[in-house]
Chain A
Amino acid sequence: MRDVLTVAWPVMLSYVAVGLPCGVLAAKAGMDPLMNFVLSLTFLTGGGQFMMSNLWLAGTPLPSIVASVAAISTRFALYSASLSPYLTRFRRRDALAISCCYTEEAYGITLGKLAGGGDWDARRALALNVTVQLTWALSCAAGAALGSIVDVPTAIAGFAMTSLFIYLLWSQPHTRGNACAVVGAVAAVVACKWSGVSGIAVPVAALVGVAAGMASQALPARKSGRSRA
């Protein structure tokens, strides 16, 4: 458990920092602490929960909120697809349990550990998931309970999460293909947000990034083909 906590506690701290304002915002939308706890424990996407509350407070119709949240949740299919080759080393029920309850940060850590060939087993991966998941759920519920008593600046707390994502991005192998994937993804986010479809920016950008990475592999082959011809 010690090695799990060693990697989990920075994530747990950032979840407390972001979960509190997420709960405060959800309370403003009308969700009580129990609703927050249940939602956070089972839905597991901070961005989705912030979006739910913001859209509700903006008076968006319920079907539109459901559709918007579903659109940004599709990225988890990509995460699970990239995890699946590494999960084959575990029993089927362990693989399913891990895929059911990872957060984005736990996904990044577990993927890095499994791809790195370390001794990260199913028990550790699950313990990491459950630890950070409970931290997130309790933080959101606490935020909803504290409500208007505390005023946690959302922007500052949110930057803890952004810093985590920057770290996870930096920890990826520094290859030309990955650089192309990053450039493609950033360009797609800009294109989506500037054309007014922010709700689908992340999953679309992830797909564009993958396509850019694949295209970067194909480019030298075409060049050499031309030179031979």
Chain B
Amino acid sequence: MTAPMGTGDFMILWLSSFGFILFCRVAPVVALRGRPLSPRVVDALGYIPPAAFAALVANDLLSPGMFSAGPWTGLMPLVAGGVVVLVAWRTKSMLWCCVAGVLAYVLLSLL
């Protein structure tokens, strides 16, 4: 049994994480502000959103042990993700995507 996190441990974890993420958030904005960017850099920056969101989705849906409890257990989140894509395509609504995703996940997990 792991000991509960004490205030000292929490402060170290919080302050180090906060300082690092603050640097990550602010440094590019300060460094790139007011500088003319080359077309190549602008193109590269434009690929960040699709690449990052694809990485986040894949990180949520794929894992080495995804099929360890059976093929359907691994496939089910992918099918639910497919339902969300269909809803995004038809409705273009963030809300309906969330509702459909959670409903599909719950219903498919009952199969």
A-B contact count (CB 8 A): 265
- Say if the beta carbon of A87 comes within 8 Å of chain B: yes
- Say if the beta carbon of B5 comes within 8 Å of chain A: yes
CB < 8 Å neighbour of B17 from A43, A166, A188, A203? A43
Q: Which residues on the A side are within 8 Å of B46 (C-beta)?
A: 82, 213
Query: Considering the chains assembled together, what is the distance between the CA atoms of A198 and B100 in angstroms?
Result: 28
Does the CB pair B13–A66 fall under 8 Å?
Answer: yes
B52 to chain A, nearest CB (A): 4
Q: Which of B3, B22, B100 has the most CB atoms of chain A within a 10 A radius of its CB?
A: B22
Q: Would you call the interface of chain B mostly helix, strand, loop, or mixed?
A: helix
With A159-B80, A198-B63 known, 18 other A-B pairs at CB within 8 A are A10-B94, A13-B98, A39-B10, A39-B14, A43-B17, A70-B17, A73-B21, A85-B42, A88-B34, A111-B49, A159-B60, A163-B98, A166-B57, A167-B98, A169-B53, A182-B50, A209-B47, A210-B51
- Give B residues with C-beta under 8 Å from A: 2-6, 9-10, 12-14, 16-18, 20-22, 24-30, 32-34, 37, 40, 42-64, 77, 80-81, 84-85, 88-89, 92, 94-95, 97-98, 100-102, 105-106, 109
